[in-house]
Amino acid sequence: MLIYIVKRLLVAVPTLLAVLTVVFFFVRIAPGDPTFIILGDQASQQAIAAVHHELGLDRPMLVQYLDFMSTVLQGDLGNSLVTHRPIWNEVANVLPYTIELTLSALFIGVVLGLPLGIAAARHRNETLDYAARIFSLLGLSFPAFVSAIMLLLAFAIELHWFPVISEARTGDPLSRVSALVLPAVNLGLIMVAYVMRVARSSMLGVLGEDYIRTARSKGVPARVVIWRHALGNALIPVVTVVGLYLGVLIGNSVLTEIVFNRPGLGKLIVNSLNQRDYTMLEGLMVIYAFIIVIVNLLTDLTYGLVDPRVRQR
Amino acid sequence: MSAVAAASARGAWAHLASGIRRHKMASFGAGIVVLVALSALLAPWLAPHDPLEQDVLLRLAQPTADFPLGNDSFGRDILSRILWGGRVSLYVSTLAVLIAIIVGGALGILAGYIGGLFDRIVMAAMDVLLSFPTLVMGLLVVAMLGPTVGNLILAITLTAVAPFARIARAPTLAVKERDFVEAGRALGFSNLRLMVVHILPNVVDDILVMAALWLATAIRTEASLSFIGLGVRPPTATWGGMIREGFENILDSPWLAIFPSLAILVVMFGLNMLGDGLRDTSDPRLRHE
């Protein structure tokens, strides 16, 4: 297992370096000079040159690149062009909101999606199965901002069950939870749809295997066959989907945060887009890519845990 | 393309078409998609009003016989804007997915066929692309380069190339070891001919199945970008842009956001049903479901 972990880490490192390189060059080839954001359109040549010097933009590209790589790898993302505060501080202020939102969505998705998918596979082509499949198709069809608007309309604007703006007062746990419910349900239900369909189809695949037939013909009770014999193998694709789904989840959380006017990484990125805060965008892209690469790594390691055969390869 | 390739490509299409016909869900989904595509194509003739015509007196008016879905905050007809908006959404997403299929498919086949260092470099590049969340990458590309139709297509294409490259590479790896490819090589066929005539037909099925699902994803990405304010510039109607405008008036005129949302839902539901059905029919293990 240790060798497997080390091998996977060795693959993740070059990907991360390549991702950082892409971020660096992407932000620099884009048209528009960040200097104008600081100085306005009427700035004199001298002032522009002074700011370029201050930001290090007058150095050769290669020097800038190496400097960027070394500071980022030391964990320093620099300062925001707009607020001049360290990017880490800005991120740390809102990160807990995004984390609590995505973790609750993951929780809802797995806790509801997995049993539903298994039940649908066991009762294949019965009413429950059809209902589950229609629900999962619907879940896949809802763009996150559309479902968010519908939830907001129904439960916040019409029924007044939850606040319209999900910005919780700090220090009041109850208001924080009630502000979290609708956004988390929004992300969670979409996730349920993904998890359920994969759990269903992988369970169906496993239930057709010979060893399951053997267990059944030996007289092993259905419940034991499902939970002890089949589940382990059926989980592997589910783990993949949860890992792959993270990219979608991040995108959906951006949209959810906008609709519910909730603080978080998503609102931070949209604000910095509007303000053309290039350094902040660069920092956020690095953070997002880091998260994805690390979750992919964790996903692969989870395979190793779930499926001993993977470790051998 | 040679006659053989054309015939096998036709074979793949015919196979898919008969699969759709036999599969209830797939044909229902295909029907919805065709209807939506037709309504968008025929928008100039179907739309009862000019989608850009403003009327202060009809500002946020509720649905009436003349304006069945009501009017937006500029007094524009919502039904006409939905019909016209479909053109932008479908045009951008279809073109983006087509380019992604061609570029990604070619990269995947080349990587699988050539193998070695080239394969590793291409797939590493795809891994890098996959390291950015779809929407975040779209956001950045459009925000940096500007919200034009071309840049939107580029942004969505970038999010879809890597999956198509992966899906094309896997069957290529398996097929290139098979006897008929070996025989072709022994007969002195060029690599290009082997890839186009002998390998491509074996990849087309998988790609077409994925295309329906990715078209849905592309429509969702386009709508999301428009909703955030990075879509095709107003006053051009787009579904996501209309929902954005409706969301600003959500408290007093919720239908502004609801009707274009329904349009997106219908086309997404149709595409997902079609994609699911196609996958069922192309997977022999699920064929008798």
Say whether residue A19 is in contact with chain B using an 8 A CB cutoff: yes
The set of residues, in sequence order, having a beta carbon less than 8 Å from that of A79 and lying 6+ positions away, is A85, A86, A87, A279
Residues A298 and A159 in one domain: yes
Q: Which residue positions in chain A have pLDDT lower than 50?
A: none
Which tokens hold the place of A225? 């066959």
Cβ distance A254 to B135 less than 8 Å, yes or no, reads: yes
Position B8 scores a pLDDT of 56
Instruction: Mark whether A161 and A51 lie in a shared domain.
Output: no
Q: A146 at the B interface (CB within 8 A)? A: yes
Is B198 part of the contact surface with chain A (CB cutoff 8 Å)? no
- In a domain, residue A240? The reply is yes
Same domain? A185 vs A300: yes
CA distance B52 to chain A (A): 24
- Between chains, do B276 and A281 touch, taking CB under 8 Å as contact? no
Q: Does A250 touch chain B (CB under 8 A)?
A: yes
Beta carbons of B144 and B152 less than 8 angstroms apart:
no
Q: Given this model, what pLDDT does residue B104 score? A: 92
A160 and A130: one domain? yes
Quote the CA–CA distance of B256 and B78 in Å, as a whole number: 8
Task: Determine, yes or no, domain membership for A276.
Answer: yes
Report the C-alpha gap between A9 and A6 in whole angstroms. Answer: 5
Q: Specify whether A292 is located in the same domain as A144.
A: yes
Examine the domain organization and report whether A278 and A152 are in the same domain. yes
State whether residue B14 sits within 8 Å of chain A by CB. no
Q: Which of A32, A141, A248 sits opposite B269 (nearest CB)?
A: A141
Facing residue for B273 by CB, picked from A19, A22, A137: A137
Are A68 and A104 contained in the same domain? Answer: no
From CA A29, how far away is CA A48, in angstroms rounded? 18
Residues 88-117 of A with CB under 8 A from B: none
Structural domain range at position A298? 91-312
Please report, as a single letter, which amino acid is at residue B167: I
Examine the domain organization and report whether A61 and A108 are in the same domain.
Answer: no
- Among residues A43, A76, A109, the one where a domain terminates is A76
CB B37 within 8 A of CB B90: yes
How far A274 CA lies from chain B's nearest CA (Å)? Answer: 9
Find the helix or strand (DSSP H, E) in which A189 lies: helix A173-207
Q: What is the CATH number of the domain that holds A174?
A: 1.10.3720.10
Examine residue A202 and state whether it is found in any structural domain, yes or no: yes
State the nearest Cα–Cα gap between A143 and chain B, in angstroms: 6
Q: Are residues A129 and A174 in the same domain?
A: yes
* Model pTM score: 0.84
Instruction: Say yes or no: B288 contacts chain A, CB-CB below 8 A.
Output: no
The answer to the question of residue A143 being in a domain is: yes
Q: What is the pLDDT of residue B67?
A: 66
Q: A12 — contact with chain B (CB < 8 Å)?
A: no
Name the residue among B168, B192, B161, B157 with its Cα closest to residue B5. Answer: B192
Q: What is the reported pLDDT for A310? A: 63
CA distance to A45, A46, A144, A219, B280, per residue, from A42 (Å)? 10, 12, 41, 83, 61
What ipTM did this prediction achieve? 0.83
Q: Does residue A141 share a domain with residue A64?
A: no
What are the tokens at A85? Answer: 């505060």
Whether residues A286 and A144 fall in one domain: yes
Query: CB under 8 Å to A230, separation ≥6 — which residues?
Result: A203, A206, A207, A212
> Could you tell me if residue A286 is inside a domain?
yes
| Alpha carbon separation from A118 to A126, A189, A232 (Å, rounded) | 13, 17, 12
Q: What are phi and psi of B132, to 5 degrees?
A: -105, 130
Per-residue model confidence as pLDDT tens for chain B (289 residues):
445 555 555 666 676 677 777 777 788 888 888 888 888 887 788 767 777 666 666 676 677 766 676 777 776 777 778 888 888 889 999 999 999 999 999 999 899 888 889 988 898 888 888 888 888 888 888 887 878 888 899 999 998 999 899 888 888 888 877 788 778 878 877 777 777 777 787 788 788 878 888 899 899 999 999 998 887 777 778 888 888 888 888 777 788 888 888 989 999 999 888 888 887 776 655 544 4
Number of domains in chain A: 2
Interface membership of A14 toward B (CB under 8 Å): yes
Please report whether residue A252 resides in a domain.
yes
Task: Decide if A288 is inside a domain.
Answer: yes
Based on the domain organization, do A53 and A157 belong to the same domain? no
Interface A:B, Cβ pairs < 8 A: 123
Q: What is the DSSP string of chain B?
A: --HHHHHHHHHHHHHHHHHHHH-HHHHHHHHHHHHHHHHHHTHHHH-SS-TT---GGGTTPPP-SSSTT-B-TT--BHHHHHHHHHHHHHHHHHHHHHHHHHHHHHHHHHHHHH-HHHHHHHHHHHHHHHTS-HHHHHHHHHHHH-S-HHHHHHHHHHHHHHHHHHHHHHHHHHHTTSHHHHHHHHTT--HHHIIIIIIHHHHHHHHHHHHHHHHHHHHHHHHHHHHHT-SSPTTS--HHHHHHHHHHTTTT-THHHHHHHHHHHHHHHHHHHHHHHHHHHHSGGGTT-
Residue that the structure tokens 């999010």 belong to:
B159
Q: What is A273-288 written as a DSSP string?
A: HHTT-HHHHHHHHHHH
In a domain, residue A113? The reply is: yes
